Amino acid sequence: MQAWIETGQLQPGARLPGENRVMAAYGISRWTAREALAALAAAGLITKRTGAGTFVRENRRLERRPRRYRRHRQAPFATDARAAKMQPHIEATSAEVEAPPDIADLLLLPPGAAVMRTHYRFLADDKPIQTSVSYEPLDLTSGTPVVRPEEGPLAGAGVVNRMDSIGVEILRVTEEVTVRPPRADEVTSLSILPGVHVFDIIRTFFSAERPVETARIVIPGDRYSLVYAFRVTDEDEPATD
């Protein structure tokens, strides 16, 4: 069955035969049939719907391409979702906290400095796609209309546009990408199936003087494709975005 799924003979959304039919078709025991279906689930190829059966998983993914964080554009997630013909929705909760040691290091702040922490959950067509926890130094944003990223006149406008509005020009963005198994809370909040790993992305925005925001973004590997394009050159040249 795996070959049928991977070659498209079984299309996304197709219902798979149950254990009894698999046993009869292949002349195998119930235990072997169960293990075969479990292996397909662990590989992220099928999903079980309670009371309905087992189906080939939908493979529609959003694409995350090398970012050009253009000014006066909508936030990147909304762009990605609409490009995939999906409707974006963002849940967000902000609070003033002391910067944890790793965040203080990333933002070049003294230990315990005040930051605005925002927890995000991003959904497309009401399905969870990614989570993010962002931190912004309150010595930059306190007392401004954009102190809470998802409130005020520029709610949802993205870091670049919000910082522009208070006279902080972002010039550079870095992203560090790793892959790891999901934590228990991520399995719950993102409805991650067994066998699916996550992209763990640390993204930081910089002005000419300092880092102005950092975020840890977590994306299940079956929801997004990370797409990169690079130019071929004859000589070394400075990296650009």
In whole angstroms, what is the distance from residue 51 CA to residue 155 CA? Answer: 41
Give the residue extent of every domain in the chain.
Answer: 2-56, 62-226
In whole angstroms, what is the distance from residue 173 CA to residue 189 CA? Answer: 27
Average pLDDT for the chain? 83
CATH class, 62-226 region: alpha beta
Which whole number is the average pLDDT over 119-123? 93
Tell me the per-residue pLDDT of 184-230, one tens digit each, with 9 for 90 and over: 999 999 988 777 899 999 999 999 999 999 999 999 888 877 777 77
Tell me the per-residue pLDDT of 33-56, one tens digit each, with 9 for 90 and over: 788 777 777 666 777 766 777 777
Find tokens 């006149």 and name the residue: 153
Q: Does residue 75 register a pLDDT over 70?
A: no
Tell me the per-residue pLDDT of 141-193, one tens digit each, with 9 for 90 and over: 999 999 999 898 888 888 999 999 999 999 999 999 999 999 999 999 998 87
| C-beta separation of 131 from 122 below 8 A | yes
In whole angstroms, what is the distance from residue 162 CA to residue 146 CA? Answer: 6
Q: Does residue 241 register a pLDDT over 50?
A: no
> Given this model, what pLDDT does residue 66 score?
58
Q: Does residue 85 register a pLDDT over 60?
A: yes
Could you please state the CATH topology (level 3) that the domain comprising 2-56 is classified under: Arc Repressor Mutant, subunit A (1.10.10)
Other beta carbons less than 10 A from residue 141's beta carbon: 21
Q: In the chain, what percentage of residues exceed pLDDT 90?
A: 43
- Model confidence at 133, in pLDDT bands (50, 70, 90)? very high
In whole angstroms, what is the distance from residue 120 CA to residue 88 CA? Answer: 13
Helix (H, G, I), strand (E, B) or coil at 50: coil
Residues in the chain: 241
Cα-based distances in Å from 174 to 79, 119, 211, 225: 19, 20, 10, 18
